[in-house]
Structure 1
Amino acid sequence: MVALSKPTLIQELFVNTLTTQIPVIDLSKADSKQLIVKACEDFGFFKVVNHGIPLKLIDKLESEAAKFFDSPESVKAQAGPPDPFGYGNKNIGRNGDVGWLEYLLLDVKRHSTHPQNLNFQCVVDDYVRAVKKMACEILEMMADELKIEARNVFSKLLMDEESDSVFRVNYYPPCPEVKENDGNGNLIGFGEHTDPQIISVLRSDNTSGLQISLKDASWLSVPPDSQSFFINVGDSLQTQAF
């Protein structure tokens, strides 16, 4: 998932920023396997650096996504409404959840769900291929460290032709000024949730906003880093391995 942010509203939550730091895993180091598993056990979340994904590819994806969201509504609407894939605006899913965001949800197996832009489609394909390779490397490191005999026990689920992997780009447009007692005090971008998948791979621009919940129920702000990736352990992996 990629997030492009221009927030003007900060969600009011209790945030622990003084004593806790997000684990940082250097994938080029020999101890990365141990550190990944420890981060999964302690946080369920970590940042990866030296991930091997070219920054040019990351920048191209962000540039093409920005062009899409800067397009007129009539153009973006051609890629929607989401069912479940496609362009969505404010409505999140089918349960009536609302957030201050626009998004593009793509089934990575079906090119027909991409916006009608060949260049965007090619960039997405290249980006997803590179991110999948990195994600498989991380999952296989987990399996090694957990002494699971089949090293690809997790990664094969990601690479399976019937995998339900999806690619999502979230865009957070400027939010109207929130006035006290105007009934909009609870406006947020994308609300509190867990991810049902094995893992989620996240990246954002250099705007803050992402937060994770810790074991003590406090919230930790994740410092933005556009050149790194963040890994969130999904519910499926949490129940199987940790």
Structure 2
Amino acid sequence: MASTFTSNDDTSLFNFVVKDGNGVKGLVDSGLTEVPSRYIQPPHHRINKELAAESLANMTIDLSELDGPNHDQVAKAITHAAETLGFFQVVNHGVPLELLDSLKAAAHKFFAQPAEKKAVYLKGVSPSPVVKYGTSFVPEKEKALEWKDYVSMTYTNDADALEFWPSECKDVALEYLKTSTEMVKKLLQTLIENLGVKFNDSRLEELVGFRMVNMNFYPTCPNPELTVGVGRHSDMGTLTMLLQDGIGGLYVKKGENASPEDEEWIEIPPIDGALVINVGDTLQILSNGRYKSAEHRVRTTSTESRVSVPIFNAPSPVVKIGPLAELVARDGMARYRKVIFQEYMNNFFANSHDGKKSLDFASA
């Protein structure tokens, strides 16, 4: 766009990147050779690739076996991952591999557009609340901004998606959502049944009644060691499904209670054709703490721009979430209180990323 910025002037930089919709990509395209101070993270938030613990290659699950003679073994692997790290990867998941390639191409196509084409979807001017283009997470509240641009597409119905989602990616994003929905429900059903609870279809549907497809774009960064693509956080919903490209950079925290100096972060390796699944806060609440929402973050890279495409599956906004009654009776206590999911979501989006602090909203 026509606006300009001075990298050491926070106001002009913020207006250029956030308000005018140029995003981080606009900074990079301007010929920036070093990261502006507004993007430099405090040392304890930076990601040291060399210090990462072992990778997650051994937590890849073949979902085609969930319907076969190995059902019990596969279900056990899914629940073990949900109880420990909160992350696993799935292959033979039923989403066409050609579609995954098309998604990555569509994401690059959307973000390659001139800023004015993307800025029509900025909050406050977007033609529909189901589409939002932006940068960082809550830039107005962040001391250090995240090195990321995104477009977010909330699903209400096919007609709205086809009318309002960006033309560069709406068809492939809608197909991605539709071809993965049954797989997500099957995973959720497996996890709920493992808790000794039976859910009918309508109750299961309530837990994935809110679905949002994001396309994330992480431009090349001149000083990746000083920045983060996404800060440490957990997701708000039940299950998140994520397509990585082949570049890597997604890290998950190992263990909940380690002190900052003893934390271990595991990189989730990009596996061709795989989808990453992670547990969100809602599932931790429903399971009364048995399943762990995964604290994760994303590093940047100086070599090439990276894209990722998550689908956030969450309860319908009007649904009241809380620990399942059967588990409260069995555990003798509720570790979380009941909350309307819309209220949980409002709190989540009102605060900058800060580990798993979002869960405090539902603490008993």
- For normalisation by structure 2, the TM-score amounts to 0.56
Query: Aligned pair in 2 of structure 1 residues 106, 240: CA closer, same or farther (>3 Å)?
Result: same
Amino acid at match of 1:205: D
CA contact (8 A) 1:39 1:45 kept: yes
Q: 2:79 matched to which residue of 1? A: 37
* Residue of structure 2 aligned with 1:48, choices 87, 90, 93: 90
Q: 1:107 matched to which residue of 2? A: 154
CA contact (8 A) 1:140 1:152 kept: no
Amino acid at match of 1:188: V
Query: Aligned pair in 2 of structure 1 residues 151, 28: CA closer, same or farther (>3 Å)?
Result: farther
Amino acid at match of 2:284: Q
Write the deviation string for residues 57-90 of structure 1: whole angstroms up to 9, x where unpaired: 111222112111111111111222478741113x
CA drift of 1:150 comes to 2.0
CA drift of 1:153 comes to 7.4
Q: Distance between the aligned counterparts of 2:114 and 2:59, measured in 1?
A: 40
CA drift of 1:93 comes to 2.6
Q: 1:192 matched to which residue of 2? A: 232
Q: Distance between the aligned counterparts of 1:166 and 1:121, measured in 2?
A: 12
Q: Distance between the aligned counterparts of 1:127 and 1:142, measured in 2?
A: 22
Q: 2:138 matched to which residue of 1? A: 93
Secondary structure of 2:235 counterpart: coil
Between 1 and 2, higher relative CO (CA 8 Å, sep ≥ 6) is seen in: 1
Q: 2:109 matched to which residue of 1? A: 67
Q: Distance between the aligned counterparts of 2:281 and 2:201, measured in 1?
A: 19
CA drift of 1:16 comes to 1.0
CA contact (8 A) 2:94 2:180 kept: no
CA contact (8 A) 2:100 2:243 kept: no
The structure in which a higher percent of residues are helix is 2
Query: Aligned pair in 2 of structure 1 residues 218, 154: CA closer, same or farther (>3 Å)?
Result: farther
Write the deviation string for residues 145-182 of structure 1: whole angstroms up to 9, x where unpaired: 333122547632245xxx2221111110111246xxxx
CA contact (8 A) 1:86 1:113 kept: no
* Bigger Rg, which one: 2
Q: 1:24 matched to which residue of 2? A: 60
Secondary structure of 2:198 counterpart: coil
Query: Aligned pair in 2 of structure 1 residues 240, 95: CA closer, same or farther (>3 Å)?
Result: farther
CA contact (8 A) 2:91 2:274 kept: yes
CA drift of 1:196 comes to 1.2
Secondary structure of 2:188 counterpart: helix
CA contact (8 A) 2:189 2:199 kept: no
Query: Aligned pair in 2 of structure 1 residues 16, 219: CA closer, same or farther (>3 Å)?
Result: same
* Residue of structure 1 aligned with 2:210, choices 155, 160, 164: 164
Query: Aligned pair in 2 of structure 1 residues 158, 121: CA closer, same or farther (>3 Å)?
Result: farther
Secondary structure of 1:148 counterpart: coil
CA contact (8 A) 2:244 2:270 kept: yes
What root-mean-square deviation, in Å, do the aligned CA atoms of Structure 1 and Structure 2 show? 2.6
Higher mean Cα deviation, 187-196 or 94-103? 94-103
Amino acid at match of 2:149: E
CA contact (8 A) 1:48 1:229 kept: yes
Query: Aligned pair in 2 of structure 1 residues 153, 32: CA closer, same or farther (>3 Å)?
Result: farther
Q: Distance between the aligned counterparts of 2:196 and 2:63, measured in 1?
A: 19
Q: 1:237 matched to which residue of 2? A: 283
Query: Aligned pair in 2 of structure 1 residues 27, 176: CA closer, same or farther (>3 Å)?
Result: same
Q: Distance between the aligned counterparts of 1:198 and 1:153, measured in 2?
A: 15
Q: Distance between the aligned counterparts of 2:153 and 2:248, measured in 1?
A: 24
Listed as ranges, the gaps of 5+ residues in structure 2 are 1-34, 36-45, 291-364
Higher mean Cα deviation, 128-137 or 77-86? 77-86
Secondary structure of 1:47 counterpart: strand
Q: Distance between the aligned counterparts of 2:153 and 2:52, measured in 1?
A: 32
Q: Distance between the aligned counterparts of 2:104 and 2:96, measured in 1?
A: 13
CA drift of 1:137 comes to 1.3
Amino acid at match of 1:127: Y
Regions of 4+ moved over 6 Å: none
Amino acid at match of 1:59: D
CA drift of 1:134 comes to 1.4
Q: Distance between the aligned counterparts of 1:86 and 1:226, measured in 2?
A: 29
Query: Aligned pair in 2 of structure 1 residues 171, 154: CA closer, same or farther (>3 Å)?
Result: farther
Q: Distance between the aligned counterparts of 1:237 and 1:141, measured in 2?
A: 12
Q: Distance between the aligned counterparts of 2:203 and 2:250, measured in 1?
A: 26
- The alignment of Structure 1 onto Structure 2 pairs a total of residues equal to 222
